[in-house]
Amino acid sequence: MGITEPPMRILLDNGIRSHSEFAQNAIKQTSARWGDTDQVLVLPVHGFVRKAPAKDVDYERQKEALFTLGRLIRKGRIEAYDYVEILFERVRGRARTRVFDALQGCNIQQCHPALQRSRFMQTNFRDTVSKGGKKDRKAGREPGKINQIAFLEWLCSLRKKDIDILIRDVAQIHLTEFEVDSLRSIDWFQFLCQRSGSPENYPDVFHLWTAERNGLDAVLTLDKGLPNLVSRVRNEKVKTIEIRTEVLRPLELLQKLGIDKPDPVPMEADRFYYWHEVMR
């Protein structure tokens, strides 16, 4: 008997979850005759069409590979993970239709955040789900003191004496041993934040730190920013930190698993799908 390889353990960033759904609601005007009369009615019929493809061809191909990702998760070849900060990011997004979703039926497990924000800051729902970045300010939303970026900037400001105080007060803060170990290695997170160029990138660094702390094999993302950051740091002559967790885009992940040809997208372009076709 051959030896079965253990599944890859992967954290899915918010972009993977938000782009796994390929359908959008649509209305088709349909003509129908009124009984036995000659009167013709034009009726709106609700259904779905495929979302318009991304202008970036490579980005669209990465998205289409999510159907293969979903199959591998359902078959147990990949263990997919989520965690609370990514959940907060999803809350900021739009409502989902759950139709033609590449990750439909996938078991996505929860892992522990490197540090739980609510341990350190008294939270409210609005600030908890707010990023506190440029888009919020452009939309006229006043950033609160406990939004995602504010919390991560505070973590970056901590020095050894601050860490010592937090660890000393572990019982009052209700930190877990996992979180105490995170505090002891917070310089890993702080270093990558410094290299990331902007607080706008701190959430992605925190996702990577969380994956690293949980011993996951990779973070999966559609974007290029975090993979490029990790590549730059790994290529530095002076090795300040070790990054064990990989950062991959979907097609790179499939190549690592020996898959050169992704599954086809089970949704045609320029076709209207009726409810009864997708709800069977």
* CA atoms of 130 and 163, how far apart (whole Å): 26
pLDDT in the model for residue 129: 79
* CA atoms of 13 and 16, how far apart (whole Å): 6
DSSP state of 261: S
Answer with the residue of higher pLDDT: 126 or 184. Answer: 184
pLDDT in the model for residue 144: 65
Sheet holding 273-274, edge to edge: 23-33, 40-50, 273-274
Question: Do 153 and 136 form a contact (C-beta atoms < 8 A)?
Answer: no
Report the chain's mean pLDDT, rounded to a whole number: 89
pLDDT > 70 fraction of the chain, expressed in percent and rounded: 88
pLDDT in the model for residue 146: 79
Comparing C-alpha atoms, which of 237, 120, 121, 122 is closest to residue 179?
120
Answer with the residue of higher pLDDT: 1 or 65. Answer: 65
Report whether pLDDT(268) > 70: yes
Report whether pLDDT(34) > 70: no
- 222-249 confidence digits (pLDDT tens): 999 999 999 999 999 887 899 999 999 9
Residue 44 tokens, joined:
């709106």
- Residue 4, amino acid: T
pLDDT in the model for residue 176: 96
Comparing C-alpha atoms, which of 112, 110, 111, 149 is closest to residue 127?
149
Comparing C-alpha atoms, which of 232, 221, 144 is closest to residue 194?
232
Q: 145 falls in which pLDDT band (50, 70, 90)? A: confident
Residue 198 tokens, joined:
């902007």
pLDDT in the model for residue 30: 78
Instruction: Note the maximum CA span of the chain.
Output: 85
Q: What is the mean pLDDT of residues 20-40?
A: 77
Q: 95 falls in which pLDDT band (50, 70, 90)? A: low
Report whether pLDDT(216) > 90: yes
Residue 189 tokens, joined:
């997170």
Sheet holding 8-12, edge to edge: 108-110, 78-82, 8-12, 218-220, 246-248
Helix or strand or coil: residue 207? Answer: helix
pLDDT in the model for residue 29: 82
Beta bridge partners of 10: 80, 218
pLDDT in the model for residue 2: 53
pLDDT in the model for residue 45: 85
Locate the domains of the chain by residue range.
Answer: 112-203
Q: 99 falls in which pLDDT band (50, 70, 90)? A: confident
Q: How many residues does the chain have?
A: 280
